[in-house]
Chains A and B, each alone.
Chain A
Amino acid sequence: MIVRHLSLTNFRLYARLELDLSPGLTIVQGDNAQGKTSLLEAIYFLATAHSPHTTADRQVIRWGAAEEAAYPFAILKADLLRRDGPHVLEIGIQRAEGNRLKKEIRIDHIARRGIDLVGQLAVVLFLPGDVELVSGAPALRRSYLDAALSQVDADYVRALDQYERALTQRNALLRQAQERPVDPDEFAIWDDQLVPAGVDVALRRRRAVAELARLALPVHRQLSNGLEHLDLIYQPNFDAAAPASLPRSYQIGLDLLHSPNGLNRVDLEAAFRRALVDRRREEIARGSTLTGPHRDDLRFVANAIDLGDYGSRGQQRTAVLSLKLAEAAWMRQCVGEEPIVLLDEVLAELDPNRRRSLLDHISDSHQTIVTTTDVGRFDAAFVKQATLLKVIYGVVMQ
C-alpha cells in the first residue's frame, strides 16, 4: 500500500501542508526542528490514531493554533492506494472543554470508531530512540507490542481495552480494601472480567512474538555476519508451567525460557486466577494488581545472552533493526500488503554494511520514507533512485 497524498492542518509545526508522495523511496532532508519527524509521525498517527510518543497526543496540535481558537484542532488526511483500491483516511483532533481531547475518525468520508482503523493503513516506524526497546523498561516493550498488534488485530484491541478497564476498576477496589472490608464477591466480579481478557491479550502477544522471532532469525543472522542467533521471547508473569520468576543470569538455559506451547487457555486462566487469589493480601497492601499481562515482558536473547542486560549498544541496535524488519514482514502476512516503512534518522546511525542490509530487506514494493539532516551521508546511487524532499520550518519543497 502507499500514501499518495498527505494533507495536514495545524499538525505539529505544519499550519497547512499538501504533499504528494511517490511510491518507492523518498528522502526527506532538513535541519533539526524543521518538521521532518512530524511528517513520519503524521503517517503513523493516521494508522493508529495515536502519537508514537505515548503521552503526546494533545501536543500534536500546532502550538500557535491555541492562540487562534478557543478549542484548537488539527486535521490529518491521507489518500491511500491499496490493493483493493483508493481510500481516504481522516483524523480530526480537537481540544475540548475540560482539557479533553476529541478525536474524529473518517474512513472514506464516513465517521467510524477507532477500532475501525485496524488494518486500514499499516506502517512500521523506526525512531532513533527505539534502541531503548531492548535496554529500557519492560513497559516500552509492552507498548511496542500493543502498538504493533493494534494495527492488525481488532480482537486484540478489544481484549486489551476490556482488560485495561477491568484492571483500573480492580486497582481502585484494592485501594479501597485498605480502608474498608471488601466482600470477596466484589473481587470476584472484576476477576471474572480480568482473567479471560488478560489471557486473550497474553496469548495473542505470545503468538505475535513467536512469528516475529521466526522472521527476525534469518535477518539477524545476516546482519551479524552469521555470528548471532537471535531469539525473541515473550515472558508472561503468570504461567502454569514456568517458575514465577526467571533467573536473569549471564547464561540462560534456553530450555528454561521456552515454556511449553501446549498450554491452553483453560490452564492459563486457572494459573492467572490462582495467582490473583494467592497474592491478594500483597496486592491490597500495594494497592495494585501484581499479576497479569500488564507486567509481562519481551526479551531479546542472542546466543543465550540477554541483550537487555548484557548486550553492547551495537548488538542492541542490530537487534532492534532485526525486529523492525521482521515487523514489516509480519505486517505483510497479517494485512496481505506491504506496510509503509518510516525511518527517522536511523540510517545515519548504521555502519555501511548494516545500512545496505536494511535497504536490501526493504523491497522496491515498499513505500519507504527516510529522514536525514545530510543527504551527503548516502551514496550517490542510493540518492539517485529516491525522490528528494526538502523541509524548512514547516514548508516542504519537492
Chain B
Amino acid sequence: MTTPNRTLPPSVVRLIDAFAQLPGIGPKSASRLTYYLLRAPSEVSLTLADALRDLKTLTRLCSVCLNITERDPCEICSDPARDHSLICVVEEPLDVVAIERSRSFTGVYHVLHGVISPMNGVGPDDLRLRELLARIDKANATRQPVREVILATNPTLEGENTASFIQRKLAGAGVRVTRLARGLPVGGDLEYADEITLSRALEGRQDM
C-alpha cells in the first residue's frame, strides 16, 4: 500500500492501510478517516473496535437459510408466523433486507452468497445451492413440504442464468418454481424506461 508520508507512526499507517483495503475507499478517504479517529474522543475508536470484533465473533450463518445471524436458526427461520413452505432464493444477505422492507413477503429465505460466473471462477458448488436442494428434500419428506420456490436473483446475465440453473435442478421435485416479475418501477416514467425493461413489461402485462 502507498503511504503519503514516511514520517507517520506505524500505528497510523497500519490503520490507513487497513481502511484502504475496503471497497470504495481510496488512499485519500483512508487517511481522512484515520485523522478523524485520531482527533475524536477515545470512545469513538473503542466503539468502532468493539463493533468490528463482534462482527466476526458474534455472527454466523443461519443453519437453515444461510442468512447472517447472531442466533441459529435466525429470527425469520424460527418465526412460526412465517410461511415455511414458501422459499425466496436471493443472491446476498442485503437482498433479504430489501425484500423485508417491502413487508409483502411472509415466507422464508435462502441466501446463495453469490451467482454462477465461470469468469470469476464461481461454479454451482461455490454457492449455497446444495443446502437449498437438501433443505427442500428434507421438508418434502415431512408433513410440511415446500410449495413454492421464488427465484429472486438479480435480472443480470449471471443472475438469470443462476435462476435458470436452479430451475433445472428443481424440475421434477414437485415444487412450483417462480421468478420475480420484471417491469416498470413504480413512480417511473415510460419515456425514460430503457427498451428492454419496456419490452419485458409489455410481455408481462396483466388483465385489469
Binds B, one of A145-153, A187-195, A224-232, A329-337: A187-195
- Chain B residue with the shortest CB-CB distance to A168: B119
Q: Provide the B121-163 mask, 1 if CB < 8 A to any CB of A, else 0.
A: 1011000000000000000000000000000000001101110
- Chain A residue with the shortest CB-CB distance to B125: A180
The answer to whether B124 and A183 have CB atoms under 8 Å apart is yes
User: A176 within 8 Å of B by Cβ?
Assistant: yes
Q: Provide the A381-392 mask, 1 if CB < 8 A to any CB of B, else 0.
A: 000000000000
Total interface residues in chain A, CB < 8 Å? 23
Q: Provide the B157-185 mask, 1 if CB < 8 A to any CB of A, else 0.
A: 11011101100110000000000000000
Residue from the list B116, B121, B195, B196 in contact with A189, Cβ < 8 A:
B116
Residues in B78-105 with C-beta less than 8 Å from chain A: none
Q: Which chain B positions have C-beta within 8 A of A97?
A: 26
State whether A169 and B117 are in contact (beta carbons under 8 Å apart), knowing that A186-B123, A189-B161, A190-B161 are contacts in the complex. yes
Q: Provide the A159-173 mask, 1 if CB < 8 A to any CB of B, else 0.
A: 000100110111011
Q: Which chain B positions have C-beta within 8 A of A175?
A: 118
* C-alpha gap A186/B196 in the complex (Å): 25
Total interface residues in chain B, CB < 8 Å? 19
State whether A170 and B118 are in contact (beta carbons under 8 Å apart), knowing that A183-B124, A186-B124, A189-B165 are contacts in the complex. yes
* C-alpha gap A160/B195 in the complex (Å): 16
The answer to whether B157 and A162 have CB atoms under 8 Å apart is yes
Q: B203: shortest Cβ distance to chain A, in Å? A: 15
- Chain A residue with the shortest CB-CB distance to B157: A165
User: A158 within 8 Å of B by Cβ?
Assistant: yes
* C-alpha gap A91/B62 in the complex (Å): 49
The answer to whether B169 and A185 have CB atoms under 8 Å apart is yes
Q: Which chain B positions have C-beta within 8 A of A192?
A: 161, 164
- Chain B residue with the shortest CB-CB distance to A166: B157
Q: A196: shortest Cβ distance to chain B, in Å? A: 13
The answer to whether B123 and A169 have CB atoms under 8 Å apart is no
- Chain B residue with the shortest CB-CB distance to A185: B168
Q: Which chain A positions have C-beta within 8 A of B195?
A: 154
State whether A186 and B165 are in contact (beta carbons under 8 Å apart), knowing that A169-B119, A170-B118, A176-B123 are contacts in the complex. yes
Q: Which chain A positions have C-beta within 8 A of B168?
A: 185, 188-189
Q: Which of A97, A158, A162, A190 counts the most B-chain CB atoms under 10 A from its CB? A: A190
Residues in A223-263 with C-beta less than 8 Å from chain B: none
Q: Which of A165, A189, A192 counts the most B-chain CB atoms under 10 A from its CB? A: A189
* C-alpha gap A158/B116 in the complex (Å): 22
- Chain B residue with the shortest CB-CB distance to A97: B26
State whether A172 and B196 are in contact (beta carbons under 8 Å apart), knowing that A165-B157, A185-B165, A186-B123 are contacts in the complex. no
- Chain B residue with the shortest CB-CB distance to A174: B118
Q: Which chain A positions have C-beta within 8 A of B169?
A: 185
Q: Provide the B1-32 mask, 1 if CB < 8 A to any CB of A, else 0.
A: 00000000000000000000000001000000
* C-alpha gap A158/B157 in the complex (Å): 13
* C-alpha gap A119/B183 in the complex (Å): 27
Q: Which chain B positions have C-beta within 8 A of A162?
A: 157
The answer to whether B161 and A193 have CB atoms under 8 Å apart is yes
* C-alpha gap A168/B162 in the complex (Å): 16
- Chain B residue with the shortest CB-CB distance to A188: B168
Q: Which chain A positions have C-beta within 8 A of B117?
A: 169
Which 6 A-B pairs rank lowest in CB-CB distance, beginning with the nearest? A172-B118, A173-B118, A189-B161, A185-B168, A172-B119, A189-B164
Residues of B participating in the A interface, judged by any CB pair closer than 8 Å: 26, 116-119, 121, 123-124, 157-158, 160-162, 164-165, 168-169, 195-196
Q: Give 23 A-B contacts (CB < 8 Å), ordered by A residue.
A: A165-B157, A166-B157, A168-B119, A169-B119, A169-B157, A169-B158, A170-B118, A172-B121, A176-B118, A176-B121, A183-B124, A185-B165, A185-B169, A186-B116, A186-B118, A186-B123, A189-B161, A189-B164, A189-B168, A190-B118, A190-B161, A192-B161, A193-B160
12 new A-B contacts at CB < 8 Å, known A166-B157, A186-B165, A193-B157 = A169-B118, A169-B161, A172-B119, A173-B118, A185-B168, A186-B116, A186-B124, A189-B161, A189-B162, A189-B168, A190-B161, A193-B160
